[in-house]
A and B are shown apart, each in its own frame.
Chain A
């Protein structure tokens, strides 16, 4: 069994809520710099996605989602790669997030305090937590679950956009495309996982 094949199988181990489509896109690789063909986000949605992406993967001792160009990637995927069903769930999720902020905090998401934004995103995670995919969790299944809730979609796009970016791959993880050998090492020798 080859490593990449194994990766595909293992990617699917993580259970029913996983979206193989995004795993496939991850394995295929995505160029965050390519132009968006059919931009679907308005300014508010675009700004909201940026804040959300940075909330999921913030700048710490290494660059964060915004540094890595993840907002562009999210917009690219939502605009050009998502199916209509997926796009609808995503955009409705943004709307739900905003309504929640208006109701609970009296202000749209973007102008909420950082604390209230965290509460709102946590609320979206709770909303998504009961979701069970109806699709097969078989390791070889290539079916796509379009119905993953907003939080799962947002988090998946952020994670994939970040770790496949040059910044995420090289500065947060270690990128070594020509390792020249395969052998055991002690984890402490590298301290991070490979992105390559």
Chain B
């Protein structure tokens, strides 16, 4: 198969999710002609959100057993909480686009397969990192030091927050810096009471409303949240941040954007003479036609796993082990967050209270372990944050509890049930050389591209942290007045939190890292990687906001360098 055509752009962005959308916006707004390549199907903002606002009686039930379909075609994606018949069209079909799944050491790679990527499906929780995070590796020796500090990224956090539209409450905590917030969403009566009780019993711990990339004020040409609830079905009002509602329209407005969906990037070509990436090779997902695109800059924003897959599959005489992989660390130091671990219980009383609206957000308890100046002795390093919330049980959750049938049963389901409070911890995953992804030597996908394999597991530190999460969530719920507190640990493997990070980490030392402090490949000046693969450590907060900020920062640097003739 030979290349059928070549098209030239100033910059090529691979991926259209959170990072790719930002790269497209920033580069086009700086005047570059940009091509965005997306392997998934082209969908339109609003028009293709076919599950949005669909009432329960209209949601199509396919008429065939979904369980068989999911088992056959979506064994991984169907594990995602947001996966259902109103959203399935956004998700990857695991049968069509498989990876090597090792049941005895699983990694759950949860992926979208449409334009906009996981920005359509994400949880929208956005937290700034602090120097507690950026200095963590240096402090305890796990992983290498980050090449940046909070001051380097802080203005970029502000920049992206203003555009993305972030609601939240300022707390003035050094380890969870405040951002540019729209008005916070409300806690409910039970949550406010729990907050008071927990903060009283545990001085130093704070409960707040989640910081969410969901607008509470109409801004940026997008609407405010109307509290319908299921964001993952799509939001034609654009209240929550997605590439489709926000960054891609901004890029389109410049007249400099070309989007090509159904475009699977096979590899990048390296030109020895110039020392740069010279082309991006694409396979059309529908026609299998091969197309070669050239650009002065290449931004890899395909997601943590997919970007590194492309680099590993881009071998040459100069880079036999994968592009930009002189260090040998490409694919290594794969991280996620520990998840699906926490507690819940019933809060007695408050039966005269109820809420209106479906809040797409919950409570947040910022990290309270191993903070500077604390002398507590816990048996793990780093920390975790807690997310959760309280709500009254509804008919779907209650009907098993109510025996009998008939008018009394019906009457009993008319009112909502007791208030339940739920808390789950997201814990930092230490960088570990042995946690990695690689290309299969034997299995290829339908495009002939080697499939990804994983060898990753949480370590002892994460295990000990999980135990503390179980204990502390149960204790805080009890302090909040909860009864019948139960703890759970779903033993979710890496990938479970959908916060996968690392595999092409940033660092000062080219022999130990793939990218420099500007997300630029150490060895290849026109190659930038700005999605989760660049992360040198994982913090315990949700990472997407940091990808946005790093992407905008890298785009600014890249264009400056390009204009100065240094790229």
- A: which residues have CB within 8 A of B? 1-11, 13-15, 17-18, 21, 23-37, 55-58, 60, 76, 80-83, 118, 121, 125, 138-142, 144, 152, 155-156, 159-160, 163-166, 169, 172-173, 175-196
- B: which residues have CB within 8 A of A? 53-61, 63-67, 78-79, 81-82, 84-86, 123, 185-186, 188-189, 226-232, 340, 344, 351-363, 387-389, 391-401, 403-407, 409-411, 413-416, 420, 422, 424, 486, 488-490, 492
Contact B399 A34 (CB under 8 A): no
Q: With A8-B81, A34-B60 in contact, do A181 and B227 touch (Cβ < 8 Å)?
A: yes
Contact B61 A144 (CB under 8 A): no
Contact B354 A1 (CB under 8 A): no
Measured between alpha carbons, how far is A4 from B231 in the docked complex, in Å? 9
Closest B residue to A141 using CB positions: B490
9 interchain pairs, CB-CB under 8 A: A1-B387, A3-B229, A36-B63, A55-B405, A186-B353, A187-B353, A193-B395, A193-B413, A196-B55
Contact A194 B394 (CB under 8 A): yes
Q: Which among A8, A15, A173, A179 has the highest number of chain B CB atoms within 10 Å?
A: A179
Measured between alpha carbons, how far is A42 from B175 in the docked complex, in Å? 66
Q: A2-B362, A33-B57, A184-B354 are in contact. List 9 more A-B contacts (CB 8 A).
A: A10-B391, A29-B57, A81-B65, A83-B67, A178-B53, A187-B416, A193-B394, A193-B413, A193-B416
Residues of B within 8 A of A121 (CB): 405
- Distance in Å: Cβ of B166 to nearest Cβ of chain A: 16
Residues of A within 8 A of B229 (CB): 3-4, 196
Choice from B53, B84, B389, B398 contacting A24 with Cβ under 8 Å: B84
- Distance in Å: Cβ of B523 to nearest Cβ of chain A: 41
Q: Which among B188, B357, B392 has the highest number of chain A CB atoms within 10 Å?
A: B357
Q: With A6-B422, A25-B66, A139-B488 in contact, do A14 and B398 touch (Cβ < 8 Å)?
A: yes
Contact B405 A80 (CB under 8 A): no
Choice from A10, A18, A27 contacting B344 with Cβ under 8 Å: A10
Closest A residue to B85 using CB positions: A28
Q: With A181-B227, A193-B394 in contact, do A155 and B58 touch (Cβ < 8 Å)?
A: no
Residues of A within 8 A of B59 (CB): 28-31
Q: With A4-B81, A31-B59 in contact, do A184 and B189 touch (Cβ < 8 Å)?
A: yes
Residues of A within 8 A of B410 (CB): 57-58, 60, 172
Contact A31 B57 (CB under 8 A): yes
Measured between alpha carbons, how far is A138 from B340 in the docked complex, in Å? 10
Choice from A14, A31, A182 contacting B227 with Cβ under 8 Å: A182
Residues of B within 8 A of A163 (CB): 395-396, 413
Measured between alpha carbons, how far is A101 from B186 in the docked complex, in Å? 55
Contact A184 B86 (CB under 8 A): no
Residues of B within 8 A of A155 (CB): 399, 405
Choice from A31, A152, A190 contacting B354 with Cβ under 8 Å: A190
Closest A residue to B54 using CB positions: A29
Measured between alpha carbons, how far is A77 from B84 in the docked complex, in Å? 17
Contact A14 B401 (CB under 8 A): yes
Contact A142 B397 (CB under 8 A): no
Residues of A within 8 A of B227 (CB): 178-182
- Distance in Å: Cβ of B537 to nearest Cβ of chain A: 24
